[in-house]
Amino acid sequence: MTGNHRNSSITRRRALVVTGGTVAAGGFAVAGYQSAFADATDSTGATATGACMTLMSSVTEGPYYLDGALVRKDITEGKSGVPLTLRLTVVDATDGCTPVKGAAVEIWHCDAWGYYSGYTTANPGGSAPAESEDGSTANDNTYLRGYQIANANGVVKFETIFPGWYTPRTCHIHVKVHTGGEKEDGTYEGGTVNYTGQLFFDDTIAEEIFALEPYSRHSGSYTTLDDDMVYDGGGASSGLLTLKAVHKADPSKGYKGSLSLAIDPDAENTGAGSGGGGTPPSGAPSGEPPSGAPSESASPSASASS
């Protein structure tokens, strides 16, 4: 990708670094990861490195969260982009990193040009085509959002696309882990949010992807990990995904991403988190969310960038 995508004007503001066993809002993450896309964990649910107790604070939910996401594996709805298969493993940090069967993992992220469903008129910064120009038949209120329920090994898998970017954020995916609720009418109802975080991508891979169609039609200042105001530089323990190319010689064929998340099933997370996130493009999300969506006044993190 050309240098005009790097944003050197944004001063990095590190998110809260967890030390001395302190953890914000009950959020944990495992440093290290399962062997890429294996179908089973060992009997303890520990990661490949065995590092279970490396902790990570929860971070901001951001202003682009919407209630009512569907329980489904494929969240693309025909949105164009480089395929991404995401494998997340949920384990219980208070019980020897045993798998959390039945945990509901929810993700949401922007499309290849930086637009979020429900907020499709929010300007992603730089120069990007209108969201409607991608030619997809995606539902403007639901694309690139969804839940999966963890299996007996604590594993969920999503089929999606590599996210794009918007000013002033680096490429990222939002994630929440819920427990205690149940699937009802295609959505997940009730329960408790135990963890709110964000997943991040290696800059070298992101820049390679953004040179491809349709990403290349969005030009401007892309923020790298070092300059992001949420990512704190901690690698896997800060949400950095392990990525494996489907075809080494052709990045357009897609990637597989994996990470393990350890939670305290008895803790509750409000989504306020840390790391602020700065101001959303054009000052605030300006799209019309579906009826019943949380308003800015109702969300403790609504003023932070997604």
Three-state secondary-structure class, residue 204: helix
Which band of pLDDT confidence, cut at 50, 70 and 90, is reported for residue 294? very low
Query: How many residues make up the chain in this entry?
Result: 306
- Buried residues in 123-159 as b, exposed as e (16+ CB within 10 A): bbbbebeebeebebebebbbbbbbbbbbbebbbbbbe
Q: The whole model's pTM is what?
A: 0.79
Q: What is the rounded average pLDDT of the residues 281-288?
A: 43
User: Please, what is the average pLDDT of the chain?
Assistant: 77
pLDDT tens for each residue of 203-231: 999 999 999 999 999 999 999 999 999 99
Q: Over 50: is that where the pLDDT of 6 sits?
A: no
More confident residue, 21 or 153: 153
Q: Over 60: is that where the pLDDT of 11 sits?
A: no
Three-state secondary-structure class, residue 217: helix
**Looking at residue 52, what is its pLDDT?**
59
**Looking at residue 300, what is its pLDDT?**
31
pLDDT tens for each residue of 93-103: 888 889 999 99
Q: Work out the percent of the chain whose per-residue pLDDT is above 70.
A: 70
The CA radius of gyration of the chain, in Å to the nearest whole number, is: 18
